[in-house]
Amino acid sequence: MKLSILIPCLNEAETLETVILKARKSIQELGIEGEIVVADNGSTDGSQDIALRNGAKVIDVPVRGYGSALRHGIAASRGQYIIMGDADDSYALDDLVSFYEKLEQGFELVMGNRFKGGIEPGAMPWLHNYLGNPVLSWIGRIFFKAPIGDFHCGLRGFSRESIVDLKLNSNGMEFASEMVVKSAINNLRITEVPTVLKPDGRSRKPHLRTWRDGWRHLIFLLAASPRWLFLYPGLFLAFLGFIGVVGTLRGPVSLAGVHFNLNTYLLSLGILLVGIQTTLMSILARVFSFHHGILPKSRNINRFEKWFTLERGIVIGFALIGTAIVGLCFLITKWTGSEIKDFSIYSSFKISGLFILFLTSGIQILFSSFFASMLQV
């Protein structure tokens, strides 16, 4: 079979028949063998009977959620290609020629773009139109280099085999982001076509919850990119802290009328330590993601794992810890001996702060090395 049109459904009796008829019209216009699959998520308004009466295949999905319905629907579909669209009659399921043509050209994910095709008045809330969708789509393009202008369009087509291989597992609305993100990081061929969004035909409120689902989309985008969530912030904080430590290491300084003193030095040490910890966390997150199939293997992580062995991590960690202990012991003898008068308060805090930084960094590297080794097993 060439094409399956997949419709997730939860109490859509008002519009479901219209949507199925539009989907059937598209299959007839394409002149191909196709099916209409309704993935029902526990409707109580007779949606299942409407779907069966109109010749659709109904899949009973016991686990609630937009993503859950789509995952079960994809698994039950028989088409080489799948085009999915909502059951609320807001998408142009009667105009799927451009999606199908792109799929036939070899693209593995074809996204609809509502901003290019047109959004009719009242079809999308102002907050979604001008803030939520543009911002989340921009983040997705920056994080994952996906050539998509509308990350959350519910009308999209894809190669069934390619998407099944991605092992998508989100149950909620963030499934829409997961599909695009994993397609991008696995180097699937992605494109988009304009599509029109019109006001849905339901009399009730939509299932989408603006703040809850927007937050879940954002969290997924961040969690899928350890580089942007941990590495870049960690490196920035480490650099900022390092500049502060070096700048005030020899004593208080003034710059453009602003005084940087011992407080600045201690704050910079803390920022530097947080930066080191966050950078280490990014490494652990990437190792975890690669070894558990969340993200594909990369050349950089392969190089890192070959160089940064458990044994090297132990050596580096203990070297820093040993240096710190020796240094702190030396300071203690100075503090308790007759030479204490040679130490100013600034010098004392300055030197002890560095050794404490060595100590905490060494401990972090030591235990992170063990944890990274556990993740690789």
How many CB atoms neighbour CB 341 within 10 A? 6
Phi, psi for 265 (deg, rounded to 5): -60, -50
- pTM, two decimals, is 0.74
Secondary structure letter of residue 128 according to DSSP: I
Q: Does 229 have pLDDT greater than 60?
A: yes
Q: Tell which wins on pLDDT, 27 or 347.
A: 27
Q: What is the pLDDT of residue 213?
A: 67
Least confidently predicted of 153-157, 280-284, 285-289, 351-355: 285-289
**For the chain, how big is the Rg over CA atoms in Å?**
28
Task: Map out the domains of the chain as residue ranges.
Answer: 3-223, 226-376
Q: Tell which wins on pLDDT, 354 or 336.
A: 354
Task: Kindly report the CATH number that applies to the domain delimited by 3-223.
Answer: 3.90.550.10
CA distances from 178 to 137, 189, 216, 219 (A): 12, 16, 11, 11
Tell me what the mean pLDDT of segment 12-16 comes to.
Answer: 93
d(CA 365, CA 179): 35
d(CA 91, CA 19): 9
pLDDT over 90 percentage in the chain:
48
Least confidently predicted of 73-82, 291-300, 314-323: 291-300
Tell me what the mean pLDDT of segment 241-247 comes to.
Answer: 90
Q: Render pLDDT for 118-170 as a digit per residue (tens, 0 to 9).
A: 988 877 877 777 777 788 888 888 888 888 889 889 899 999 999 999 989 88
